[in-house]
Amino acid sequence: MRTKSPLLLAALVLLVAAPVIAGGGSLWIDDDGDGYCENSCAQDSEGLPDGDCDDTDPLIGPFDGDGDGDEGCQTDCDDQDPTIHGRDDDGDGVSLCDEVPDCDDTDAYTYPDALEWADGLDNDCDGEIDEEVDEVDDDEDGLTEADGDCDDSNPAVYTGAIEFCDGRDNDCDNIVDGDDEDYPGSDADGDGDPAVACGGADCRDYDATANGLDADGDGNTLCQTNPDCDDDDATAYPGAEEICGDDVDNDCSGAPDDLDEDGDEAISLACGGEDCDDTNFSIDPNAPEEQATCIDQIDNDCDCPGDTNGDGIECGLGDEGVDGGDEDCHAAPEAQAGVDQQDRYLGGAIIVALDGADSSDDNPGDELTYTWTVEPVEAYSGITWELIHDPADAIGYLRFSADPENEDNQWLFTATLVVNDGVLDSEDDEEDSHVTITFFRPEFLSTIACATAGQTDALGGLALLLGLGGLLGLRRRRA
């Protein structure tokens, strides 16, 4: 018996087990009868073309059923309606076949969530026209959305603007550049420099005063990243040296004659300012004359009027405004010791806080030290007290205790605060730098203490007698 070839058997198996699509259709057969099959139709007797993306629906296939230029197997979500397709005809990024469709695919300013501006249309596709239009001119071009600005973030775009070569609809008529009948050409502002988008260097082709030409030949233009502030003056450009007295903003800082070589934000004397040393960042009218600067023989805050002591040295040691001659160096801090305090003493140890936190100093850069001293008003006996404080802290503490046998009911202390700014001490002001601390024993507590003391003595004697009596009785019983 002749056996069949293994290759022939394999071919028969493949033929029988032809691929089947969902729903029972074959990849090689036109299941929906639209004239197209899914896969290669070479084995189909009719030789039909393939490429059907949905072989279960005769209305969807690799063809333009409604003649709108978009196929059902491309982006057309309704190939039976020529008014619906997946193209984005107006270029606004949203089509009629998107999940949230464009409500007008002929207007680039109309799509879901678009900016609503006063043009008589429903720009944001919410069913309302010109609702809640913004009345603020964000780009400062003279028009708001309520006035008809279709892009209030761009000063070159608004109703009535010059249409120039930049790929945008500058005049808000929904027509861009050369397609607009109002388009004047590649050099819209007529300044001799075409727009950047048209091969020129003009970054603002709607403004004849700005272009990419270097009119003054200083190597800088109005269209560079850090623009020339005056393209008609070769002495004015970013980074130029400021020339005092020429009334020109040479360095393009925003103001003329504002020489500040040391960057301390104070203008040099040469330019009419008050910086007496424009080469030293730490010397200017706003610099503090305090602490170490009060002994550096330098007029740090530029308030020296000249050679006031007649030694031939202008603003030297001894002149007004220099070190000891500067009134700022004599501005001593002011001590505030707080308020008088009273506290009940019930026994044991008690602590009160001495508060100097309200002390002040005219020079904010000073590092203040605080010195508290405490003295009893009179020589009390039978008491113990201790002052606890850190010179860097305005708060001090007074710890007090009295012996139990002490019969006094009141103890007074005077606390004094001195504040130092590194050069000067605060003045001794009786009203502000001194406070009185009073510890007192409540009268009822004193009465109880005395009564208890008497009772204790009586009870002690009674106990002694009872004890002796007990001992005598014990000895008798033993006898």
142-164 pLDDT per residue, tens: 999 888 888 888 999 999 898 99
Which of 63 and 207 is assigned the larger pLDDT?
Answer: 207
Q: Are residues 432 and 372 in the same domain?
A: yes
Q: Are residues 421 and 351 in the same domain?
A: yes
Closest by Cα among 244, 248, 203 to 229 = 248
pLDDT at 68 over 90: no
The whole-number average pLDDT for the span 256-281 is: 87
Which of 444 and 349 is assigned the larger pLDDT?
Answer: 349
CATH value at residue 351: 2.60.40
pLDDT at 196 over 60: yes
Sorting pLDDT into bands at 50, 70 and 90, what band is 15? very low
Beta bridge partners, 20, equal 26
Which of 84 and 349 is assigned the larger pLDDT?
Answer: 349
DSSP 114: P
Average pLDDT, the chain: 81
pLDDT at 459 over 70: no
User: Residue 105: inside a domain, yes or no?
Assistant: no
Q: Are residues 436 and 395 in the same domain?
A: yes
- Of 69-78, 240-249, 320-329, the one with minimum mean pLDDT is 320-329
Closest by Cα among 293, 288, 295 to 317 = 295
Which of 91 and 411 is assigned the larger pLDDT?
Answer: 411
Q: Are residues 479 and 402 in the same domain?
A: no
Question: Beta-carbon neighbour count of residue 389 at 10 Å?
Answer: 19
The whole-number average pLDDT for the span 446-455 is: 44
Sorting pLDDT into bands at 50, 70 and 90, what band is 353? very high
Distance, in Å, from the CA atom of 367 to the CA atom of 186, rounded to the nearest integer, reads 67
Q: Are residues 359 and 450 in the same domain?
A: no
User: Residue 80: inside a domain, yes or no?
Assistant: no
pLDDT at 13 over 70: no
Which of 1 and 197 is assigned the larger pLDDT?
Answer: 197
User: Residue 479: inside a domain, yes or no?
Assistant: yes
Distance, in Å, from the CA atom of 79 to the CA atom of 68, rounded to the nearest integer, reads 8
Of the spans 279-283, 314-318, 365-369, 416-420, which averages the highest pLDDT? 416-420
Sorting pLDDT into bands at 50, 70 and 90, what band is 328? low
Domain count, the chain: 2
Distance, in Å, from the CA atom of 439 to the CA atom of 400, rounded to the nearest integer, reads 8
Which of 131 and 325 is assigned the larger pLDDT?
Answer: 131
Residue whose token pair is 């004697």: 461
The whole-number average pLDDT for the span 113-121 is: 84
The whole-number average pLDDT for the span 386-404 is: 96
The per-residue pLDDT for 325 is 64
Helices vs. strands in the chain: H and E counts, helices first: 2, 7
CA angle 132, 137, 140 (to 5 degrees): 165
Per-residue pLDDT tens for 281-299?
Answer: 888 888 877 656 676 778 8
Percent of the chain exceeding pLDDT 70 equals 80
User: Residue 296: inside a domain, yes or no?
Assistant: no
Percent of the chain exceeding pLDDT 90 equals 33
- Of 80-94, 282-296, 426-440, the one with minimum mean pLDDT is 282-296
User: Residue 230: inside a domain, yes or no?
Assistant: no
Q: Are residues 420 and 460 in the same domain?
A: no
pLDDT at 14 over 50: no
Of the spans 184-188, 330-334, 356-360, which averages the highest pLDDT? 356-360
> Coil, strand or helix: which one is 414?
strand
User: Residue 19: inside a domain, yes or no?
Assistant: no
CA torsion angle for 23, 24, 27, 31 (degrees, to 10)?
Answer: -80
Full-model pTM: 0.41
HSE value, Cβ hemisphere, 13 Å, CA-based, for 399: 7
User: Residue 464: inside a domain, yes or no?
Assistant: yes
Q: Are residues 464 and 386 in the same domain?
A: no
Q: Residue 375: which domain range?
A: 341-441
User: Residue 189: inside a domain, yes or no?
Assistant: no
- Of 47-51, 118-122, 203-207, 224-228, the one with minimum mean pLDDT is 47-51
Sorting pLDDT into bands at 50, 70 and 90, what band is 446? low
Q: Are residues 371 and 454 in the same domain?
A: no
Q: Are residues 398 and 376 in the same domain?
A: yes
pLDDT at 474 over 90: no
Sorting pLDDT into bands at 50, 70 and 90, what band is 439? very high
Q: Are residues 349 and 372 in the same domain?
A: yes
Q: Are residues 426 and 451 in the same domain?
A: no
Of the spans 312-321, 359-368, 433-442, 449-458, which averages the highest pLDDT? 433-442
Q: Are residues 388 and 460 in the same domain?
A: no
Distance, in Å, from the CA atom of 468 to the CA atom of 23, rounded to the nearest integer, reads 121
